[in-house]
Structure 1
Amino acid sequence: MKRLVVLAFALMGGLALAGCGAREGLKPAATASLPAAPYGAKATPSPSDLLQAPVQTRPARSDDLIQSSDQRRTDTFDLPPR
């Protein structure tokens, strides 16, 4: 019975927190300024530029195990267990 009560309170708390999400797009506060330009940059990046992830954070998958469809050589050390 206690577990049910604790579970009910946890679910109600989760639903209450889920309703706190933002409904509008992100933009800087009226009194705040954008961050300074990074070292070596020619201009300060815009908010949309800051929200886009660079390519290095999502690299292409390169761990393809099968490089070709050629037959493998026989392995002389691949013996069955004794």
Structure 2
Amino acid sequence: MYRMAVPLALAALLAGCGQSAELKPRAGQQLPAAPYGRDDRPGANQLLAPRTQDMPQRSDELRSRSEDRQDDPFDLPPQG
């Protein structure tokens, strides 16, 4: 048990120490070109930030009480 606990603890410590500095492209490489119709080139943090369209909100209404289901014309018994 102890033999597995030490490597797991070390792995957890290494996973928690990430770099929190400004993101920059590698040497000799550039960020992607500016999107069509935009004059400025977005930075790395802007490219990594999710847009509203990428995080849709729930739009369906939850049922607050049970209701009888309507007949489904496509709910057919198996053939055979």
What TM-score, normalized to structure 2?
Answer: 0.54
Bigger RCO of structures 1 and 2 (CA < 8 A, at least 6 apart): 2
Letter in 1 for 2:38: K
RMSD: 3.0
Alignment partner, residue 14 of structure 2: 16
Q: Hey, what's the Cα distance between the residues in 2 that align with 1:14 and 1:72?
A: 46
Q: Which consecutive unaligned segments of at least 5 residues does structure 1 have? A: 76-82
Alignment partner, residue 77 of structure 2: none
Q: Hey, what's the Cα distance between the residues in 1 that align with 2:40 and 2:34?
A: 4
1:53 shift after superposition:
1.3
Letter in 1 for 2:41: P
1:72 shift after superposition:
7.6
Q: Percentage identity across aligned positions? A: 31
Q: Hey, what's the Cα distance between the residues in 2 that align with 1:51 and 1:11?
A: 30
Letter in 2 for 1:13: A
What TM-score, normalized to structure 1?
Answer: 0.54
Give the aligned length.
Answer: 67
* Rg larger for: 1
Letter in 2 for 1:58: M
Q: Which consecutive unaligned segments of at least 5 residues does structure 2 have? A: 69-80
| Consecutive aligned runs of 4 or more in structure 1 exceeding 6 Å deviation | none
